[in-house]
Structure 1
Amino acid sequence: MTPTGTTQKPPQTLDEWAELLRVQEMPIFSNTAHNIYAALDDRNKGAIELATVILQDPNLTAKLLKVGSSPYYNPSKQKMSTVSRAIVVLGAEVIRELTLACSFFEAMLSSTNKDRANREIALALHAAVQAKALALSMGDTSPEEVFIAALLHNIGHIAFWCSGNPQSKKVHELIEKSGLNNREAEKKVLGFTLQDLGKKLSKSWCLSGLIEEAIAKPDSAEKRVQMVQLGHQICAALKSGKDSEAMQACLAKIAAFSGLSPETLKAKIDKNTLEAVHIARQFGANDASKFISTEAIIAKFEEAEEEKADKKQLQFQILQDISSHISGQIDLNGLFEMVLEGIHRGVEMDRTLFMLLSPDKQTLNEKFSLGWHKVALDQKIRIYNSEPSANLLFHALQQQEGVWLFPQQHHELYTPQIRQHIGEYECFVFPVYAEKKTVGLIYCDHSVHGLPLTREDFIAAKHFAKQAHIGLTLYCMKNH
């Protein structure tokens, strides 16, 4: 009712619908999203200012700390009991992803149209996880931005279908009974499409950058817009079935786009689907998770979670053994054997290799290896820094924190020497150093079973490589 007691006029035009949804239905986006974006975009503002914005919303604060502690966002399980600590641990970009996702879920889960809301949540989240995984696979500099752009890509559909406004309910019924396809029905009943509504809302909520670009220009040839679109296309193809023609066509399209093989993509898509189920549950969207995947796949996911717990336990035990070893008399051979076993068994790598750098820094010589199929046991890998451009391993030696490399993105690093002795596989490589001097490196991959590497794998392997650095440093200090 208006202040004068007359019935408020139902929305008729695109502008009226956008204003209704912006002000009455999802005001949380108007305030929280805008303030967070402003804080993040202002380079003069730091973690304290961003934390202040988030802390103004107690529900958002609680949800952010809960979800931010989940393995998907915090695989190293660092303790985060404050927002400012979460910003330090996760980084501003991940916080942007989380806060907008939390705001999105809070608005959606309060919807009166529960069934439709759950379907929209399921699609948005599933597409976001698939798009982000594709961005990570292709070495994108800000996969979190791709996640948010995919999550909010159908924001017009989401805001409209989840609206509790009586007028919108009537329109829902007219569209569903029209027998037309969605776009035609929307145009006939509303006079505009829900994609048009999304464009309006993204502007009024100040959702700029990739979010706005992907909504405004869905057919753009820009690589990152295509990642967003492909996230949604994967979900659409999966509805037809994993072995359907639609899915095969989708896989072929993504393979051509990314350089990944269809077999690798299938494994990644399955894993991402399960990941989306888990994240939906973390956000409290249990009902929506059922629209992402079947009960059978969810059961399979829960079994995988149990296996993951066993893997974590093994990692913990090996790390304890390493800590005990480096607290006493350090045997360097024993230290590196334990570190290599931790990565090989604890992180479940197919092949793991530790190489020492020669005094002239021109040759890498194998010291220990696990999982390599060799003709003779005493056969050792040796890589020279003799090619016109840096190869995979000598390139990695220059990167202090370790690298995650892909044949399709870093093709020039897979030189003839690397292809001959190691092959062309997605891999992690960590330089090993002591007292600021590089002494060698650790290489690992999933070359045998072809499973996709994950961010959690990278962080766990990096943690073991760090133990080698700590042990070496202590050894040098004790023996000076």
Structure 2
Amino acid sequence: MNMPVTEIKPEPRSLEEWTAMLRDRDMPIFSNTVRSVNNIIGDDKKGVMELASVILQDPNLTTQLLKLSNSIYYNASRQKMATVSRAIVLLGTEVLRELTLACSFLEAILSPTNQRRANEEIAQAIHAAVHAKALAIATHDRSPEEVFVAALLHNIGNISFWCFCGAKGDLIQALVKDGSSQQAAEKQVLGFTLADLGGSLSKAWNLGGLIEESIRKNQGAVNPHVGLVHLGYEVVEALREGPDTKQYGACLEKIAAVTKQPKQAVREALQKNTEAAAGIARHFGAHEASDLIRKEAGQPSEPETAEAAPMTDRKQLQFQILQDITSILSGRIDINLLLETVLEGIQRGIGMDRTLFALLTTDKLALREKVSLGWRKDSYTQKLVFNLAKIPPNLFFQALSNHDGCWLNPEQDAALFTAGDTKLVGKNPCFLMPVCAGDKPIGLIYCDRAYNHQALSEDDFRAFRHFVQQANIGLSLYRLQGREG
């Protein structure tokens, strides 16, 4: 009898192998998110719908992002944001890019196996990022969010390595303990420094821009944005040294000169930023990093308090999302925002695994995906196309002609689940309902629970129909506004 052989992955030896391992094996979710977000932000033809759909593919990322969006640091007005779509509209795409990259990065690295050194690196990054952003705002920089992300990911090589280093990390720390410098120890064990790894990861993830520029060793004529990133790290080092040291005094002088603020105001701002950084770390779930931020700045640890439980009541979430939809319908309608919010209401509010809105093609022979949530695809650019078969009628042809919506089951409605449909969506109980402009269907919304296989209910179907009806009301109002305009 042949015993199964467990594949032993070879330990990375070169800079290239370490980069590939972190990118593909240890942090693939972050890799995919960075690629998708950067593609959307860099394309003028893409907007809220595309960005929201990328975020909503990951329920954990969605939860963390909304939690931070509603924190006092990002949302001083305390306007409740129940949907990603509303968060993008209220906070702006640049802030959401900042939050998405930060949340997805920390989601990829935070785990119970993190050693103290990893938490120290995470604490330094979050702390420096908050100070750098505050400095950018104080100096009237146009891109404080870009400065925040660049500072957070400035030491990306260090953070990534210490989270997944294994025995190599122990060797480096042993050499440092015996008197070697940090860089010399890294070079001896790895053959390269962690700063080199950061630069390599930045290129592999195509982070580009200020992130990559701030990581480079030789700056030449320093970009003022890069200077703010580096100053954020200087602040953290100065706070670590203490308020009575020469380093702290020099840092205080530099910040006062850059911001044109009196030293006392700078001192107060540094304390306020440190408290904000500790709070943000805690929001990210980096509790040990939060305590380290306070400790290194000479502040007492925040007393442990029970965090508010995440909102799990679907009825409450449905109500809040419907309020957002009402707000959209009460003004000049952004049809893409409306449809995205409706889909988010179905996906999160009803608790679906997969939700999709598809538009009729011009020849009316197929439905082409416009936006989808929860579908496990290689790329967000991959679009599903559903052919409409009249004889015999298939799943989507049947649903398109039923304005009241369909609740279909592969056991009772087996004939509708044709081979072509099954290849694309499988055989799962599902809800379908046409999206109409007036009396004419222009597309269709589909949803199911293909992964957790939780039973659908009458309440779920009523909520689904109500959300789609809001989309239809919005389309009718949108057409009227177009005529009036």
TM-score (norm 2): 0.58
Corresponding residue of 2:115: 114
Question: Does structure 1 residue 284 correspond to structure 2 residue 285?
Answer: yes
One-letter code aligned to 2:257: A
CA distance in 2, matches of 1:62, 1:7: 35
One-letter code aligned to 2:204: S
Q: Secondary structure at the match of 1:113?
A: coil
Corresponding residue of 1:391: none
CA distance in 2, matches of 1:132, 1:164: 30
Corresponding residue of 1:211: 211
Equivalent residues of 2:172, 2:186 under 8 A apart: no
CA distance in 1, matches of 2:245, 2:72: 32
Q: Secondary structure at the match of 2:164?
A: coil
How many angstroms does 1:258 deviate by?
3.3
- Closer, same or farther in 2 for the Cα pair 1:163/1:111, shift >3 Å? farther
CA distance in 2, matches of 1:204, 1:171: 26
CA distances 1:43-69 after superposition (whole Å, capped 9, x unpaired): 110101110111111110111111110
Matches within 5 A, 1:165-176: 165=166, 167-176=167-176
Equivalent residues of 1:160, 1:168 under 8 A apart: no
Question: Does structure 1 residue 194 correspond to structure 2 residue 194?
Answer: yes
Equivalent residues of 2:291, 2:302 under 8 A apart: no
CA distance in 2, matches of 1:228, 1:301: 31
- Closer, same or farther in 2 for the Cα pair 1:288/1:84, shift >3 Å? same
- Closer, same or farther in 2 for the Cα pair 1:7/1:170, shift >3 Å? farther
Question: Does structure 1 residue 264 correspond to structure 2 residue 265?
Answer: yes
How many angstroms does 1:265 deviate by?
1.5
How many angstroms does 1:138 deviate by?
0.5
How many angstroms does 1:276 deviate by?
0.6
Q: Secondary structure at the match of 1:249?
A: helix
Corresponding residue of 2:89: 88
How many angstroms does 1:299 deviate by?
5.4
CA distances 1:134-173 after superposition (whole Å, capped 9, x unpaired): 00001111100000000000000001111154x4344444
One-letter code aligned to 2:54: V
Matches within 5 A, 1:435-454: none
Matches within 5 A, 1:223-372: 223-294=224-295, 296-298=299-301
Q: Secondary structure at the match of 1:130?
A: helix
CA distance in 2, matches of 1:112, 1:211: 27
Equivalent residues of 1:108, 1:121 under 8 A apart: no
Larger mean Cα displacement after TM superposition, 177-186 or 138-147? 177-186
CA distance in 1, matches of 2:138, 2:55: 31
Corresponding residue of 1:79: 80
How many angstroms does 1:8 deviate by?
3.1
How many angstroms does 1:70 deviate by?
0.5
Matches within 5 A, 1:463-478: none
How many angstroms does 1:298 deviate by?
4.7
Gaps of 5+ in 2: 306-485
One-letter code aligned to 1:199: G
Equivalent residues of 1:131, 1:228 under 8 A apart: yes
Equivalent residues of 1:18, 1:200 under 8 A apart: yes
One-letter code aligned to 2:61: L
Equivalent residues of 2:139, 2:258 under 8 A apart: no
Equivalent residues of 1:161, 1:172 under 8 A apart: no
How many angstroms does 1:176 deviate by?
3.8
- Closer, same or farther in 2 for the Cα pair 1:6/1:101, shift >3 Å? closer
Equivalent residues of 1:97, 1:144 under 8 A apart: yes
How many angstroms does 1:133 deviate by?
0.1
Gaps of 5+ in 1: 303-480
Matches within 5 A, 1:42-191: 42-110=43-111, 112-163=113-164, 165=166, 167-191=167-191
Q: Secondary structure at the match of 1:238?
A: helix
How many angstroms does 1:255 deviate by?
2.7
- Closer, same or farther in 2 for the Cα pair 1:272/1:81, shift >3 Å? same
One-letter code aligned to 1:130: H
- Closer, same or farther in 2 for the Cα pair 1:111/1:146, shift >3 Å? farther
How many angstroms does 1:219 deviate by?
4.1
Q: Secondary structure at the match of 1:288?
A: helix
One-letter code aligned to 1:50: L
Q: Secondary structure at the match of 1:229?
A: helix
CA distance in 1, matches of 2:46, 2:69: 22
Corresponding residue of 2:11: 10
CA distance in 1, matches of 2:178, 2:153: 27
Equivalent residues of 1:129, 1:275 under 8 A apart: yes
Equivalent residues of 1:277, 1:298 under 8 A apart: no
Corresponding residue of 2:32: 31
How many angstroms does 1:300 deviate by?
10
Larger mean Cα displacement after TM superposition, 24-33 or 190-199? 24-33
How many angstroms does 1:296 deviate by?
4.7
CA distance in 1, matches of 2:20, 2:302: 43
How many angstroms does 1:253 deviate by?
2.4
TM-score (norm 1): 0.59
How many angstroms does 1:215 deviate by?
0.6
CA distances 1:206-261 after superposition (whole Å, capped 9, x unpaired): 11110011012464521000000000011011111122111111122233333333
How many residues are matched?
299
- Closer, same or farther in 2 for the Cα pair 1:108/1:7, shift >3 Å? closer
How many angstroms does 1:73 deviate by?
0.5
Give the root-mean-square deviation of aligned CA atoms.
Answer: 2.3
CA distance in 2, matches of 1:108, 1:132: 23
One-letter code aligned to 1:139: H
One-letter code aligned to 1:47: V
One-letter code aligned to 1:24: R
How many angstroms does 1:175 deviate by?
4.0
One-letter code aligned to 2:149: I
- Closer, same or farther in 2 for the Cα pair 1:88/1:6, shift >3 Å? closer
CA distance in 1, matches of 2:238, 2:180: 21
CA distance in 1, matches of 2:259, 2:84: 36
Matched-pair identity in %: 52
Q: Secondary structure at the match of 2:121?
A: helix
How many angstroms does 1:96 deviate by?
0.5
